Amino acid sequence: MVTLADVPVPVGAAMPRPEAFLRLVDIAKQFGRFTALHGISLEVFKGEFICCVGPSGCGKTTLLRIIAGLDAQTTGQVFQAGAEISALPAARRDFGIVFQSYALFPNLTVARNVAFGIENRGLARLRVRERVAELLDLVGLAEQADKFPAQLSGGQQQRVALARALAPAPSLLLLDEPLSALDAQVRARLRGEIRALQRRLGVTTVMVTHDQEEALTMADRIVVMAQGRIDQIGTPEQVYRHPATPFVAEFLGRMNVLPGRRLPGDRVAVGDVTLHCAAGACEGTTETVTLCIRPEDIAIGRASGDCANMVSARVERLEFMGSYYTAHLAPRGIAAPLEADLSAQAVRDLALRPGEWVEAALPRDRLRVFFGWPR
């Protein structure tokens, strides 16, 4: 379970914990008899970039719509900037939102789309125009101001939607899979741009995505959801290095999963092999455990030294991944396959070929132990 101790101190704040800017308390959402969200509690601090990540249908969009006040939670409370907003309709909350479909107004030019939320608010025309220009500059679309949305590429439309949402300077920005309709390259570039923009404006942001890579690269903290529950909250490093559940371990990044049996003395038997774990890591209640280790944490060598956690394995396949290789290994005495990442350099040095035997080291401090066998 997630405890307060797991929640890290927000970026740049070494002082005592500040009050959370957005606080969800025990939010539940029911659609008829189906429960989409079970008791979600979450704190988001000012200026933070939070990514909610999880498989399709886990309730991310539902959660975002509740934060926005577009749907009512069945039970639970929402606080923003210290005030309870649980029952406020969307029109009286303070947020900007970008949808996967962008929902740009097709009959208005880019400039008028961006101006939509700041016109007719007692702001002088000149000031509106300045603000629009400023925002279009910010998202790099100053040249496109007079075009209509249908005349823009997907990435450009996305940035217009972002500029429109940011125009009234909301204190909270909500993004629902803003990049999922784009191709990989544009997506990768926009990730960086959105993040930079968010830092620059310091706007508190909650983004929903089912792309774990997006979450890992963009977020200050990641909220991993599964089946309407939060499995873990933490910085990208925390959730990646120390996944709280086997689900988180497998969902974020790639993971080798080995079924094992607990032995005395911080040891686990996996098939015919006995592996050593970090001291205290194996203190649990059940006999069966799950061992997890990331492909990049497995070291491959030729030497058959007799040190701990060395496993002999046959190379089944070498997969070229661009800057590195993934070796698919069949370890001796273990039924489950293993994947290990090697640099191109290492592959050359070892002159690795499929069918050969190598020694794989599973460093004990990289082994995660979960109790019970999930599948």
Partner 1 sequence: MIATAEPGMRRRRLGASRDDLIMRLGLGVGFLLLTLTVVAPLATLLVKAFQDRAGGFVGLANFLAYAESPALLRSLHHSLFVALLATAICVTLAFAFAWCLTRSCMPAKGLFRAVALVPILAPSLLPAISLVYLFGNQGLLKGLLFGASIYGPIGIVMGEVFWTFPHALIILLTAFATADQRLYEAAESLRAGRLRTFFAVTLPGVRYGLISAAFVVFTLVITDFGVPKVIGGHYNVLATDVYKQVIGQQNFQMGAVVGLILLVPAALAFVADRFAAGRQVALLGARSVPLAPKPSPAVDAAAALFCTAVAVVIVGIIAVAAFAASIKLWPYDLSFTLGHFDFDNVDGGGWGSYRNSLTLAGWSALLGSLFVFTLAFLVEKTRGLRWLGAATQLLALLPLAVPGIVLGLAYIFFFNAPANPLGAIYGTMAILVLNTIVHFYAVAHLTAITQLKQLDPEFETVAVSLKVPIWRSFLSVTLPVSLPTVFEIALYLFVNAMTTVSGVVFLYSPDTTLASVAVLNMDDAGDTAPAAAMALLIFTTSAAVRIVHTLVTRGLLARTQAWRRRITEAPREA
Ligand X SMILES: Nc1ncnc2c1ncn2[C@@H]1O[C@H](COP(=O)(O)OP(=O)(O)OP(=O)(O)O)[C@@H](O)[C@H]1O
Could you say whether residue 210 binds ligand X (CB under 6 A)?
A: yes
- Buried/exposed code over 67-90 (b: 16+ C-beta within 10 A; e: otherwise): bbbbbebeebebbbeeeebbeeee
Could you say whether residue 53 binds ligand X (CB under 6 A)?
A: no
Shortest CB 155 distance to partner 1, Å: 5
Shortest CB 73 distance to Mg ion, Å: 16
The count of C-alpha atoms lying within 13 angstroms of the C-alpha of 249, restricted to the half-sphere facing its C-beta, is 21
**Residue from 2, 133, 145, 350 in contact with partner 1 (CB under 8 A):** 2
- The answer to whether the CB of 248 falls within 8 A of the CB of 232 is yes
Could you say whether residue 48 binds partner 1 (CB under 8 A)?
A: no
Could you say whether residue 58 binds ligand X (CB under 6 A)?
A: yes
Q: One symbol per residue from 48 to 77: x for binding Mg ion (CB under 5 A), - otherwise; what is it? A: -------------x----------------
Distance of alpha carbon 334 from alpha carbon 336, whole angstroms: 6
Q: Which helix (H) or strand (E) holds 213?
A: helix 212-218
**DSSP per residue over 336-368, as a string?**
S-EEEEEEHHHHHHHT--TT-EEEEE--GGG-E
Nearer to ligand X, 63 or 257 (CB): 63
**Residue from 12, 16, 33, 92 in contact with partner 1 (CB under 8 A):** 92
Q: What is the dihedral of CA 136, 199, 81, 127, to 10 degrees?
A: -30
Which residues within the stretch 160-189 sit at the binding site for partner 1 (CB under 8 A)?
164-165, 167-168, 170, 181, 186
**Residue from 13, 25, 201, 347 in contact with partner 1 (CB under 8 A):** 25
Shortest CB 176 distance to Mg ion, Å: 6
Distance of alpha carbon 142 from alpha carbon 122, whole angstroms: 24
**Residue from 11, 153, 333, 374 in contact with partner 1 (CB under 8 A):** 153
Distance of alpha carbon 110 from alpha carbon 148, whole angstroms: 6
Which residues within the stretch 205-244 sit at the binding site for partner 1 (CB under 8 A)?
none
